[in-house]
Structure 1
Amino acid sequence: MHKASSVRVALAVLTACAFVLLFAASASADTGKFHSADSSVNSSGALVVSFDERGLGNGNIDYTLTADATAVYACINGGGNHPQAANKEAVEGQVSTGGSFASKNGRVVASLTTGPLQDPSFTCPSGQRRVLASVSYTNIVLTDTTNNVSTTVADASRTFFQV
């Protein structure tokens, strides 16, 4: 083999290696990583997850939010009290939502809201109204479906009326 052809082969191998390393670096740069994700329950009893994901490329990023939910509904009288009776009902199930957000400078800072579970179909006695007494969310998972990255989020709960 001539010296010139050996140099060409070596250059071709180096060029291929550089291309592979460059492609791997750019692919990992667009993976995304959740910097933070916090949960809370708003005044309507809905789960709100606020998050900050970084290391993203440009474009829209799609998300899903899922959680196990428990909502307790009760009957409240005109004085704002829960009569000592068995007129309350707990509902359990899963809540979920999704959203799409534009990445700005490789970052998405946003929030998603879901829930609460719909109130049960039981009725309250005359002079009382049905209210959401408390709600809790567990097994909360936020997923960046564009980059297949998930994070678990702390449980959240709120009590509106003691029952």
Structure 2
Amino acid sequence: MRRIALGLVSAACTTVLVATPALAQNPHFLFANNSVNSNGTLSTSFKEVGLGTGTTSVRITLTASATAVYQCFNNGGKHPKAGNKETLQSDVIASGNFPVRNGQTTGTLTVGPLGPGDFKCPAGQRLFLESVSYSNTRVSDAAGNSLGATPDPISRTLHIQV
């Protein structure tokens, strides 16, 4: 009788110890890393853990403040002394659903660069994207967990004809 009781108590303890970690949830981001490619696009790679084993996907959102500088150049490759230049600033956002495996997810979201809007060059000149910068970059999930991405701010000098 003692062996049966000890076996039942042992089985119950094992079940509790194994089941508790599986149910534990403490969602948080381990990292969020920024980079800007040669086209001026911001990419933010991230990893979120502690999502629990019952979660199959999570929606992640990237937000940032973006700046883009456009400039006109003449056919000789010089920018006019008048300095036909426009600086655009706006908030940008991207989101996506990411699969959860073993209570964690990793992924990358991309945004930008800002377009030139209505900015046009006069006849005989061409429009170029000269630089981009991003600040206040942050990844977040639907539950309100978030992390600022690094480096922040991040920028890149470009010279891309639009």
Q: Does the 8 Å contact 2:31/2:147 carry over to 1? A: no
Distance in 2, Cα, partners of 1:131 & 1:31: 46
Structure 1: segments with no counterpart, 5+ residues:
1-18
TM-score by length of 2: 0.75
Q: Aligned residue pairs: how many? A: 140
Q: Which residues of 2 match residues 143-162 of structure 1 at below 5 A? A: 143-145=140-142, 147-153=143-149, 154-161=152-159
Aligned to 1:89: 86
**C-alpha deviation, 1:31, in angstroms:** 2.6
- Provide, for residues 60-88 of structure 1, a one-character-per-residue CA deviation record: whole Å limited to 9, x for no partner: 10011111111111112345443333201
Cα offsets for 1:88-107 (capped at 9, x unmatched): 10011111111110011222
> 1:1-163, aligned counterparts within 5 Å?
29-57=24-52, 58-145=55-142, 147-153=143-149, 154-161=152-159
Distance 1:83 1:37 in 2: 40
Contact 1:65 1:142 in 2 (8 A): yes
Distance 1:86 1:33, change over 3 A: same
Counterpart AA for 2:145: V
* AA of the residue aligned to 1:149: N
2:115 alignment partner, SS class: coil
Please list the CA deviations of residues 25-58 of structure 1 after superposition, one character each: whole Å capped at 9, or x if unmatched.
666x323221111111122212111111112223
- Matching residue's letter, 2:144: N
Name the CA distance, whole Å, in 2 between partners of 1:94 and 1:123. 22
* CA–CA distance in structure 2, aligned partners of residues 38 and 30 of structure 1: 24
Which residue identity does 1:126 align to in structure 2? A
Identity of aligned residues (%): 44
